[in-house]
A and B are shown apart, each in its own frame.
Chain A
Amino acid sequence: MLVARRLGKRYGEKRVLRSIDLELPPGGFLVVTGPNGSGKTTLLRICAGLAQPTEGTIERSLERAQVGYLGHEPLVYRELTALENLELYGRLYRIAERRERIGMLLERFGLWDVRHERVASYSRGMTQRLALCRVLLHEPDLLVLDEPYSALDEPGAELLDAQLAELRGERTFLLATHEPARVEPFASGRLALAA
């Protein structure tokens, strides 16, 4: 599904990634670890299609609609409500039975009661849960998750665990984390980046 050879990325004079090889088959679960500044975020962004490498090649046999990306930013509009945010993405991703799917996700992640409130009023954990809803909304084949646990509260983390367990095997995962132990049960491959 995803094959990268000698991937490198440079921002101006600063080198962020150096000669990375990775292979992610369909159904795989690749865990990326490394200290801060090792380029995990950049690598995930390139894999999701948000950035272009400056060296090397990356082959993705995927369309944009099949990729779900969760970055450090939740990518939701703070002045809109949860419902409005998901409605927007629902329309853009052309999801069938949008209302039902949104409702189901909001309920599963415990946001149904606050769906009409602006995201600006949410706690950090709630915002991250909404971001997870956004990622899962269009049922992507490839999920690229950049430190998803870092902004989650404990109930949210348990919900994520449950989701990963449910989708493991059906979907392909590329996950960067500071706590590899948590996702160890799911991992099919590991990639450690050096600083």
Chain B
Amino acid sequence: MSYVRDVGALARKDLLLELRARDTLPAMLLFVASVFVVFHFALPGTPSRLETIGLLWVAILFTALLGLGRAFVPEREQRTFDGLVLAPCDRSAIWLAKSLATLAFLVAAEVVALPLYALFFHPVGAATVAAVVLADLGICGVGTFLGAMAVATRARDLLLPLLFLPLAMPIVVGAVGASVVGSPGRYLGFLALYDALFAVVCWASFEYVVAE
């Protein structure tokens, strides 16, 4: 299907760009480690497993924001958005490809962050890992979409967290819930529902974000 090929070509471009620039992923890794250290000093006493799990999700959310803010930088700085918009491909392919690339970076950062968290604080269970996977999909899908919107404004980087955090609130609930509760099924299901719902909305409306 040509749509899949378009997404593939675009995602390949995004991954190539990051591999060459080598700035976003190392920054995310360093950021997550530093944030954990801050948490250690920010929490008086010995925090329980419950408390630190919340912090894990805060760390993931803000590390993701760091990466998302950089997502459309090449398109913005070099004005290559025009080139993509002129192409006959479906505009939503641009969003999907960028989301997948950002997802790859976020997962790469988490591959380091989760063991680091287990080292510094408490071990991580299977439910948490499942929650990470599902939450990542929502974070990258919605975050990339909003990133494209933010890039079209004057405020740019300033705007992305403001747009993103209210929308990320349900992800936090679902993710923390799944990590903490005995039977995480309900929360994981909620995360999946969020992902599916917003994926559809993003896919259907990206056209209007890029085309003038």
| CB atoms of B79 and A77 under 8 A apart | no
- Whether A10 sits at the interface, judged by CB under 8 Å, is no
- The answer to whether B17 touches A89, judged by C-beta atoms less than 8 angstroms apart, is no
Please determine whether B86 and A80 come into contact, CB atoms closer than 8 angstroms.
no
Q: Which residue of A lies closest to B85 (CB)?
A: A50
Selecting from B5-13, B43-51, B175-183, the interface stretch reads: B5-13
B74 lies within 8 A of chain A by Cβ: yes
Residues in A neighbouring B89, C-beta threshold 8 A:
92
Asked whether, in the complex, the Cβ of A48 is within 8 Å of the Cβ of B86, the reply is yes
B82 proximity list for chain A (CB < 8 A): 50, 69, 71, 73, 75
Nearest neighbor of B17 in chain A, beta-carbon distance: A79
The yes or no answer to A76 lying at the interface (CB within 8 A) is: yes
B83 adjacent to chain A (CB < 8 Å): yes
| With contact pairs A73-B78, A80-B20 given, residues A88 and B212 touching in the complex (Cβ less than 8 Å) | no
**Cross-chain contact of A80 among B10, B16, B87 (Cβ < 8 A):** B16
- In the complex, chain A residues 97-124 whose Cβ is within 8 Å of any chain B Cβ: 118
Binary contact readout B168-193 vs A (1 if CB under 8 angstroms, 0 otherwise): 00000000000000000000000000
* CB < 8 Å neighbour of B13 from A48, A63, A80: A80
9 nearest A-B pairs in the assembled complex, by CB-CB distance: A75-B83, A91-B9, A65-B88, A92-B87, A73-B79, A79-B20, A64-B88, A51-B212, A88-B13
- Give the CA-CA distance A84 to B16 in the complex, in Å: 9
Q: Does A67 contact B (CB under 8 A)?
A: yes
| Tally of B interface residues using CB under 8 Å | 24
- B87 contact from A48, A73, A89, Cβ within 8 A: A89
Tell me, rounded to whole Å, the shortest Cβ–Cβ distance linking B155 to chain A: 15
Contact between chains at A92 and B79 (CB < 8 Å): no
Please count the residue pairs between chain A and chain B whose beta carbons lie under 8 angstroms apart in the complex.
71
Interface: B2 (CB within 8 A): yes
User: Are A92 and B88 also in contact (CB < 8 A) when A71-B82, A80-B13 are?
Assistant: yes
User: Which residues on the A side are within 8 Å of B10 (C-beta)?
Assistant: 88, 92
B21 at the interface (CB under 8 A from A): yes
- Complex CA distance for A75 and B13, rounded to whole angstroms: 14
B116 to chain A, nearest CB (A): 29
**A contacts, CB < 8 Å to B:** 48-52, 63-65, 67, 69, 71, 73, 75-80, 84, 87-89, 91-94, 118, 134
Given known pairs A88-B9, A92-B6, A92-B9, the reply for A78 and B88 (CB within 8 Å) is no
Residues of B within 8 A of A118 (CB): 20
Please determine whether B80 and A75 come into contact, CB atoms closer than 8 angstroms.
yes
CB-CB under 8 A for A67 and B80, given A77-B74, A84-B16, A92-B9: no
CA distance in complex: A111, B148 (Å): 33
Q: Which residues of the other chain, B, contact A88 by a CB distance below 8 angstroms? A: 9-10, 12-13
Which residues of chain B from 83 to 115 have a CB within 8 Å of any chain A CB?
83-89
Interface residue from B2, B9, B17, B86 paired with A77 (Cβ < 8 Å)? B17
A-B contact pairs, 24 of them (CB 8 A): A49-B86, A50-B82, A50-B85, A50-B212, A52-B212, A63-B88, A64-B86, A69-B86, A71-B79, A71-B82, A73-B78, A75-B82, A77-B78, A77-B80, A79-B20, A80-B16, A88-B13, A89-B87, A91-B6, A91-B9, A92-B9, A92-B10, A92-B84, A92-B87
Given A73-B82, A77-B78, A77-B80, verify A93-B17 contact (CB < 8 Å): no
- CB under 8 Å from chain A, chain B span 1-39: 2, 5-6, 9-10, 12-13, 16-17, 20-21
